[in-house]
Amino acid sequence: MNAGPQPWKGAFDQMMGHSLASLSRTPKPRAIVECGSFSKPNNGCTDERQDALGISVFLEDRASYDKAVTEFRGRVPAFIYIASDGTLPEAPPGSGIDTRAEIIKYWQGQSTFMDGLTQETCRDFTHTGYGLSAISHFAETTRIQGQDLYPKISERLRHALGMHAKYQLGAAVPSSLCGGTPHLGLGPITEVGFNALNNRMGIAMTNTQRLTEQQRPAGTNVLFVAWETLTHAANSN
């Protein structure tokens, strides 16, 4: 089978050579998942990641879907900071975090807030990427379901993708950001958000575009991203 020109063909070939694409693969659903730090113990951690993405939609469970949307609306502003939030980021709903000291501690000790900073930026870019990927995929899923949440998160997502792409590409890091030494490693997580914001909504994203194109074809990390070049590169639908 020919998936067309590059980079889509390369992404298709990567997917077809992976065990997750095997027609003989059998899902492993679990009633209870117990997942420890670094997946120790791993009582369903891997199975859940591989078999349970978008389960509310798959099961047509409206109550679960609505609950997830409500949580998403509250958590995105608590994960990505933009200047219009004020001097401090918003706290996660129901967390009890409400003082400056508590917020700074929650934000990995970061006390200077800038457009696009995330709650995990100063933890490392890898986990930050997981969060940005999850936000993009969630918004993409709801859009397909007829509930487009991108307009509500576009400003935060574009700043977050752009800021992290900038430093991942090698820009000098100011001392006000993670003490000047963030742990890089953003990973191939930009395709979905970049396509939605740049290709569909027409938002210029120079650094994100450069990093996205540099990382193509994006494969899978077997955690939260999978062959996004194949599914979303230049996808206007």
Q: What is the pLDDT of residues 43-67, one digit of tens each?
A: 888 877 777 778 899 889 999 999 9
pLDDT at 19 over 90: no
**Which residue did the predictor score with more confidence, 16 or 80?**
80
Tracing tokens 């958590």 back to the chain, one arrives at 75
CA 40 to each of CA 68, 131, 216: distance values in angstroms, whole numbers, following the listed order: 26, 21, 32
Q: Decide which of 134 and 30 is more confident.
A: 134
Q: Which amino acid is located at 197 in the chain?
A: L
Contacts of 206 (CB under 8 A, 6+ apart): 162
Six-digit token pair at 205? 């994203």
Read off the pLDDT of residues 184-237 as tens digits, 9 standing for 90 and up.
999 889 999 999 999 999 999 999 999 999 998 887 765 667 788 888 888 887
2, pLDDT greater than 50: no
Give alpha helix (H) positions in 24-149: 45-51, 55-58, 62-79, 100-106, 125-144
For residue 35, pLDDT beyond 80: yes
Mean pLDDT of the chain: 90
Tokens of 47: 């199975």
Query: According to the model, what pLDDT value does residue 197 have?
Result: 97
User: What are the structural domain ranges in the chain?
Assistant: 55-232
Residue 57 · residue 140 · CB < 8 Å? no
